[in-house]
Chain A
Amino acid sequence: KQEVTQIPAALSVPEGENLVLNCSFTDSAIYNLQWFRQDPGKGLTSLLLIQSSQREQTSGRLNASLDKSSGRSTLYIAASQPGDSATYLCAVRGSQGNLIFGKGTKLSVKP
């Protein structure tokens, strides 16, 4: 059974710092991996999608990497801002098409 783990569970950084969020998964047979952002009391916003054949994807200040063989993905956020404060969720796509989620990393960026 696929399991997804996100470390750390919470992270607090000063504004302007570059940071890395980690995601690991136990079964490398995935179709793709998706990173989401969730603000308190809100839904999930898709940030990046990496296909199993890709190594990384970039969108603005965000860069996500995927190492399928080792079961790891990282989300790199450059020059963090207070508006980046949210919970970041990693999810892998299984054979049925559904997503299997980690429990998230709660990020706080302090001014």
Chain B
Amino acid sequence: NAGVTQTPKFQVLKTGQSMTLQCAQDMNHNSMYWYRQDPGMGLRLIYYSASEGTTDKGEVPNGYNVSRLNKREFSLRLESAAPSQTSVYFCASSHGREQPQHFGDGTRLSIL
């Protein structure tokens, strides 16, 4: 009964380091999403993948890249981390536009 699994749960980076956040879902969903949550800003969409093989930019894509590795997995990469990317990152998935989105537990990322 895993749903959406995100790894790691916590990470501390130094400015300029790179890292990849992993997300996997076991619900056979077509669409997957990456959001960030910041105090006072709410959740904002970074990138999404409407189906396997496609990715598109969301509201705040700068500084990030994504890969839809297969139907289950959608990764988010920070090539050169900046303090402004300190945030909580959530991955979500859904079967389609009319279906609810299901969220993972989040990755808490601090960049010093």
Complex: how many Å from CA A46 to CA B45? 17
Say whether A72 faces chain B, with CB atoms less than 8 Å apart. Answer: no
Say whether B103 faces chain A, with CB atoms less than 8 Å apart. Answer: yes
Instruction: Please give the distance in Å from B34's CB to the nearest CB on chain A.
Output: 10
Contacts of A34 in B (CB 8 A): 100-101
Say whether A49 faces chain B, with CB atoms less than 8 Å apart. Answer: yes
Contact of B98 (CB < 8 Å), options: A32, A44, A91: A32
Given A96-B48, A99-B43, A104-B42, A31:B98 Cβ within 8 A? yes
Say whether B71 faces chain A, with CB atoms less than 8 Å apart. Answer: no
Contacts of A49 in B (CB 8 A): 99-100
Say whether B33 faces chain A, with CB atoms less than 8 Å apart. Answer: yes
Say whether A21 faces chain B, with CB atoms less than 8 Å apart. Answer: no
Given A31-B98, A89-B43, A104-B42, A98:B33 Cβ within 8 A? yes
Judge whether A31 and B97 touch: CB under 8 Å. Answer: yes
Contacts of B58 in A (CB 8 A): 98
Complex: how many Å from CA A44 to CA B89? 12
Contact of B42 (CB < 8 Å), options: A32, A43, A51, A102: A102
Judge whether B31 and A97 touch: CB under 8 Å. Answer: yes
| Pairs across A and B, CB under 8 Å, 14 listed | A32-B97, A34-B100, A42-B105, A43-B105, A49-B99, A49-B100, A93-B97, A96-B50, A97-B31, A97-B50, A97-B96, A97-B97, A99-B35, A99-B43
Chain B positions near chain A (C-beta within 8 angstroms): 31, 33, 35, 40-45, 48, 50, 56, 58, 90, 92, 94, 96-106
- Sort A-B residue pairs by CB-CB distance and give the 9 closest, nearest first: A44-B103, A43-B105, A101-B43, A103-B42, A49-B100, A97-B97, A98-B45, A101-B42, A43-B103
Chain A positions near chain B (C-beta within 8 angstroms): 31-32, 34, 36, 42-46, 49, 51, 89, 91, 93, 96-104
Known A49-B99, A97-B48; 13 more pairs at CB < 8 Å? A31-B98, A32-B97, A34-B100, A42-B105, A51-B98, A89-B43, A97-B97, A98-B58, A99-B43, A102-B42, A103-B41, A103-B42, A104-B42
